Amino acid sequence: MSCCAPGAEMALDLDRVTTVLPSSQEIRLASRSLGDDLRQTDLSVPAVHCAACIQAIETALGKLEHVEGARVNLSTKRVSVRWRGDEVPPFVAALGRLGYEVHLFDPDIGEKDKTLSELIRAVAVAGFAAGNIMLLSVSVWSGAEGATRDLFHWVSALIAIPALAFAGGIFFRSAWNALRHGRMNMDVPIAVGVSLAYAMSLYETINHGDHAYFDAAVSLLFFLLIGRTLDHVMRERARTAVNGLSRLAARGAMVLRDDGARDYLPVGEIEPGMQLLIAAGERIPVDGTIIRGSSDLDCSLVSGESTPRTVVSGAFVQAGILNLTGPLTIEATAAAKDSFLAEMVRLMEAAEGGRAHYRRIADRVSALYAPVVHLTAFVTFLGWMAATGDWHRAITIAIAVLIITCPCALGLAVPIVQVVAARRLFENGVMVKDGSAMERLAAIDTAVFDKTGTLTLGQPRLINASSIDPVMLAIAADMAAHSRHPFSKAIAGFAGFSGQPKLETVSEHPGFGIEATAAGSTWRLGRRGWAGWKARTGGEGRYGGTVLSKNGMIVASFVFEDALRADARTAIGQLNEAQVSVEMLSGDTAAACREVAETLTVDHFVPALLPSGKVERVEALAKAGHKVLMVGDGLNDTPALGAAHVSIAPATAADIGRNAADFVFLRESLLAIPLALDVSRKAGRLIRQNIAIAIIYNTVAVPIAILGHVTPLIAAIAMSASSLLVIANALRLQGFVRDAPARIAPYDRRSGIGDWAQMS
């Protein structure tokens, strides 16, 4: 896949007519202080989209006076610049000299993907033109001569003009932008080859020549645009992770003024010291301390703890926590930009910035492509000029060299396999979100699992229903239907027994449970000690902390467990067989983690971790030389998902977790993970085979073209044949096992290739 210059995307933004650069005053106002006279400015650079862009930007900004450092986030297309002093460094001008358009970064702006729309239209135009020109070329190949042949050539020339102007403009603008800023990219040989092929064909048509190569020029564009569109789609899917945090956060809150008045303020206007009213069912917008009220809080997205936490006055709460059962009044202790969610954003961006430095196989292979092709074609032209003095023959052979070395096979080598592999995974309930994800997944040697919501379903399940009196269970279910507490939801599903008394009044006591009256009796469902203090027979009070009482006497006790995902133990066993070690990280208690680890035979686990602790563990494994797969579902897992070499989340995960992950599996079974690993390793093998095919093709075809035995038309046919061969090889992936694999090909660290026997 070609690594385009920034002009490729910049040129596609046709709706932007003028560009207003931010002034120094605007930049200073938009910057935030980091302390110690250090400031940070976040800039939006829409044209950054490859490893070469990252290196060029960070190097250029790092050379500026007073600039401490710069980091490019490829997912959000943002550049964070840290600088000192009273005068704003000229980093906008520096990026402008490199050909990058710069704006102040605004996380609230969501723009339509104009680049994708333009690419799709370009593919359609190029495909339509190529098909029609090929039909005319078949007539010429069949023996059309004289005026008929010239007519077909002229019609082909006319059809090719809009294709080259619109579809080819993507490559021409990118090539020109790179050249005028003193750089080279893979679009330069494409633009040169297409232009020369059209010019030579037009010259042949005007002079009634036998051969024209309009079909070669337009077909070239069609194949290249397909590869570029697939690559763009894969890359764009990775950009929504940080944006998902803004959707998770509360938009505002009800503020209680000193005079008793109530105002709804946007979250950005909430300041420390303000009193906020949080109703049951609302998320807490900023970090704060409870000053009135008690409730149960769902902290699973923040801490990973599966059991709801009971809080009372004086407890500290964090932004993003869901208030379940009772109204709370909290005093804000931090502004939104300093809250827990803001810290999550910073952790996520740091993790994504690290992953952005990963260079895909196609980028690595194609790094030397442009200079080698240009040099080869130019030397060929000079050699034939020196040997024959015939400029027409020399330039025709040089054009044939440019066309026959076109990166179609190389450009399709990666995306075509990814598309076939992504389809195979989708058929088995796994969605691929990032184009480089399968390459990274194939290389893992360590898998790190979150517990709640990942190894388990994150939903409490009543496991002793069969031992509870059906009448008591039905009464508890009717009471539980009035609460949002997770334990209540687990009990409420057992309603329907016809013999229980009808409830007259029901009230919920946040942090304690539910109280109801029926037939003159008082019933309580909730925590032991509040609901009841003695058992009717002694047996009802043996288990757990949730009980049902009648007039203070315990009549039923409820035991819950967080059910494991289907086939979790089998999936972990298959990962171990594939030479992948497994660890479990969780924000839950040590006892809960130990029970799950023993059930699933997971040797290593770390409990009671904060989000930053999970990131630190993942980074520690990476520093030790491991390639880490992170599997998690909650908000607290999001930074670790981004920091890992590759990541997977279940479809039941929070929006931000799904957005941050490279893969999402849609079914409850964890067998999706070894399946994704198996397909990725096989896909990696096919990608390397395809690149080998492209290299062998060029090794054989280029010398023949240099010796003058290939016309541009034959070069185009050979180029198309190599592309078809690459596609046919990629389609072999469809013949692989459709369901979860019994055995996964081990990963060869030296070659990055799985066992060949597993692929045949």
Tokens for 601? 């035979």
Do strands 275-278 and 328-332 pair parallel, antiparallel, or not at all (unpaired)?
A: antiparallel
| 605 band by pLDDT with thresholds 50, 70 and 90 | very high
pLDDT tens by residue, 149-163 = 888 889 988 998 988
Q: What is the pLDDT of residue 514?
A: 92
Q: Distance (Å, rounded) from C-alpha 582 to C-alpha 335?
A: 39
Between these two residues, 440 and 109, which has the higher pLDDT value? 440
Q: What is the pLDDT of residue 534?
A: 62
The CATH number of the structural domain formed by 429-456+567-681 is 3.40.50.1000
Q: Distance (Å, rounded) from C-alpha 214 to C-alpha 199?
A: 9
pLDDT of 640 above 90: no
Tokens for 191? 């633009």
Between these two residues, 350 and 528, which has the higher pLDDT value? 528
| 567 band by pLDDT with thresholds 50, 70 and 90 | confident
The CATH number of the structural domain formed by 250-345 is 2.70.150.10
DSSP category for residue 267: G
Tokens for 188? 């330069």
The CATH number of the structural domain formed by 7-112 is 3.30.70.100
Domain boundaries, the chain: 7-112, 115-236, 250-345, 361-428+682-740, 429-456+567-681, 464-558
Backbone φ and ψ for 525, nearest 5 degrees, come out as -125, 115
Do strands 446-450 and 456-462 pair parallel, antiparallel, or not at all (unpaired)?
A: unpaired
Are 430 and 664 in contact, with CB atoms under 8 Å apart? yes
List residues with catalytic annotation: 450
pLDDT tens by residue, 403-460 = 777 665 666 667 677 777 877 887 777 877 766 788 889 999 999 998 877 888 777 8
464-558 folds as Calcium-transporting ATPase, cytoplasmic domain N (3.40.1110)
Are 594 and 697 in contact, with CB atoms under 8 Å apart? no
Are 251 and 447 in contact, with CB atoms under 8 Å apart? no
Are 329 and 293 in contact, with CB atoms under 8 Å apart? yes
Average pLDDT over residues 724-739: 68
pLDDT of 21 above 50: yes
Going 600 to 602 to 606 to 610, the CA torsion angle's sign is: negative
Are 437 and 646 in contact, with CB atoms under 8 Å apart? yes
Q: Distance (Å, rounded) from C-alpha 575 to C-alpha 596?
A: 17
Q: Is 534 exposed, middle or buried (0-12, 13-18, 19+ CB in 10 A)?
A: exposed
pLDDT tens by residue, 219-264 = 778 877 876 777 666 555 544 444 444 455 666 778 888 777 776 6
Q: Is 601 exposed, middle or buried (0-12, 13-18, 19+ CB in 10 A)?
A: exposed
Using CA atoms, how far residue 421 sits from 297, 418, 736, in Å, is 41, 5, 10
Using CA atoms, how far residue 659 sits from 354, 471, 639, 648, in Å, is 17, 45, 11, 10
Least confident of 83-87, 270-274, 534-538: 534-538
10 Å Cβ neighbour count for 40?
16
Are 362 and 1 in contact, with CB atoms under 8 Å apart? yes
Q: What distance lies between CA 303 and its chain's CA centroid?
A: 22
Q: Distance (Å, rounded) from C-alpha 430 to C-alpha 408?
A: 29
Are 39 and 84 in contact, with CB atoms under 8 Å apart? yes
Mean pLDDT computed over every residue of the chain = 76
Strand partners, 728: none
* Nearest C-alpha neighbor of 651 from the set 341, 461, 429: 429
pLDDT of 360 above 70: no
| 50 band by pLDDT with thresholds 50, 70 and 90 | low
Average pLDDT over residues 303-326: 78
| CB neighbour list of residue 485: distance below 8 Å, 6 or more residues apart | 296, 308, 324, 325
pLDDT of 530 above 50: yes
10 Å Cβ neighbour count for 678?
26
Using CA atoms, how far residue 379 sits from 294, 375, 383, in Å, is 81, 6, 6
